[in-house]
A and B are shown apart, each in its own frame.
Chain A
Amino acid sequence: MLKYLIEKEFKHIRRNKFLPRLILFFPTMMMIVLPWAANLDVKDIDVAVVNRDHSQLSGKLAEKISASAYFNLSSVSESYNNALKTLDKGDADIILEIPEGFEKSLVKEGNAKVLIAANAVNGTKAGMGSAYLVSIISDYSRELNNQTITRGIEIVPQNRYNPAMDYKKFMVPALMVMLLTILCGFLPALNIVSEKEIGTIEQINVTPVGKFTFILAKLIPYWLIGFVVLTIAVIIGRVIYGITPQGSLFTFYLLASVFVFVVSGFGLVISNYSNTMQQAMFVMFFFMLIFILMSGLFTPVESMPKWAQIITLFNPMKYFIEIMRMVYLKGSGLDALTRQISALLGFAVLFNSWAVLSYRKSR
């Protein structure tokens, strides 16, 4: 029985003018384009330097800033007000003011003050920009100190597992999670709702096909497609970004299948309660937004308010993004992931039993 139904599903997918292309094109584009776009690195920050000191040391500081890859020296002026105007116009993102007597106090007293003013309309750029600028300045002061006396505490940051803090490494595994959610969770669910809309599901409900068989026949083709696409994504990750899973591929696929099981069940629950595509699409869109924004994909869960952190505990995507990053970047094995795996298994059992119980052949 199952054989005929699966055959039918593949025929539907193949005959659809749009779907096969979407299934291949969408993940490929997502993997090729998004890791570059979804990048939190801030570059090309325009700095307006207000140099009121006109000394050798202040000139060197300005030079050092403009030499950095992160900054463009947009203007050097003598009045803070002029610099503020460029900030108003958007020609500068940050103002660095070097006050009069900078060199003198640095040489005499061993320290000096500078002022940093950032345009915080774009919070990320302002925050990161100021931080970079501070680190350049402290670098500079270290250089000066080395020439005289070494003192203070030197901090050497080291980013383990992603040494260059490359955001692409962060994004690639997370994008794979989104792909699996859409292909294995939402597509089969929409497919079931479309059979409801057309009315063919009634013809199936009046046959001896069990609900379990019917659901399984809907899922299996998308599971297969999901894993083919995941493999394509792994290959793209390796070829374009040079990112290979540090953990074993077996662990990777095994845990991916657990996640696929979770999202399939979730999609089915939605499909059981939706009578129209419109309704199903809207509900999915709603949950997709919550899942993504509360998963730690773009912003770390730890920096969310307490109540939001509690909500993330109920987000299966959060656990799988953690798993993916750990397997991909840290090379963690199953033993390091027991918390995430048990959470996912719990979700899988919950959603799938709910889906089977709420599917009705008769009403």
Chain B
Amino acid sequence: MMNEVEQDRQQVIKVEHLTKRFGHFTAVDNISFEVYKGEIFGFLGANGAGKTTAMKMLCGLSKPTSGKGSVAGYNIEKESESVKANIGYMSQKFSLYEDLKVWENFRLFGGIYGVNDKEIGPRTDEMLAQLGFEKEKNSLVSSLPLGWKQKLAFSVAIFHEPKIVFLDEPTGGVDPVTRRQFWELIYKASDRGITVFVTTHYMDEAEYCNRVSIMVDGRIDALDSPRNLKSIYNAANMNEVFIHLAGGSNRKAD
């Protein structure tokens, strides 16, 4: 039943047997999955399970050792520049320019992605209004608290209306209220049709996703909606599901 519904929807990410080895270490081990348009896809796993490596391959930052994948309809290996033009990316490390002002960061990344010069200004104001950040337009990013920076980085990542936005632990080190607000931003983006691919360590956040995959030692050991996962593993919440699966890991956490 679920499958039929999914097949009607457009696949925006399709991965088959994707593998990445560094020397003798297999960071990502033969993973396959699809992500559909407008979906919020949670990409879970313990530290060192291979999430970031997998995500970097999808974004064209890292070349797969074997297997293939397509993102937004482009081959991740051969057409990585076209992939890049159609995605937004927010890395684990906070990555806006600290010595640029808020509006200057919007202008820079908007310009890089080819947003029309005249449109950048009004769209920046609009985005800041949504965030309630109008007053900080001329502040240097370095002067803002972490939670604000993260929300800002997300807004910059979706400024050019990408088809998919990749978020690598976007809420790390952020307080629960700000995390809640951050997820509201994610929902708004998803409502506009932007597919959200997000990694997280917070299991309450996993519950907000449409579907989640759980990576253990470079493999995807489970992939379903949070509700189905809980019933399969007979768990009260996602925390129990995660501990059940990731507890069997042979890999040391980093």
Give me the interface of A with B, judged by CB distance under 8 Å: 1, 3-5, 7-8, 11-12, 15-16, 198-200, 202-210, 361-363
Contact = CB atoms under 8 A, between A and B. Distances in A.
B240 interface: no
A4 B160 CA distance: 15
B113 A12 contact: no
Contacts of B84: 206-208
A207 B61 CA distance: 10
B121 interface: no
Given A11-B104, A207-B84, A362-B63, A199 B93 contact: yes
Given A206-B84, A362-B80, A363-B63, A200 B97 contact: yes
Contacts of B108: 4-5, 7-8
12 contacts: A1-B112, A4-B112, A12-B100, A199-B93, A199-B94, A199-B95, A203-B89, A207-B84, A207-B109, A208-B85, A362-B80, A363-B63
Interface in B33-81: 59-63, 80-81
Interface residues of B, number: 29
A8 B62 contact: no
Contacts, number: 74
Contacts of A207: 84, 109, 112-113
A208 B97 contact: no
B107 interface: yes
Given A1-B111, A206-B61, A8 B100 contact: yes
B95 A362 contact: no
Contacts of B59: 206
A359 to B, nearest CB: 14
A171 B241 CA distance: 74
B99 A203 contact: no
Contacts of A362: 60-63, 80
A241 B91 CA distance: 54
B61 A205 contact: yes
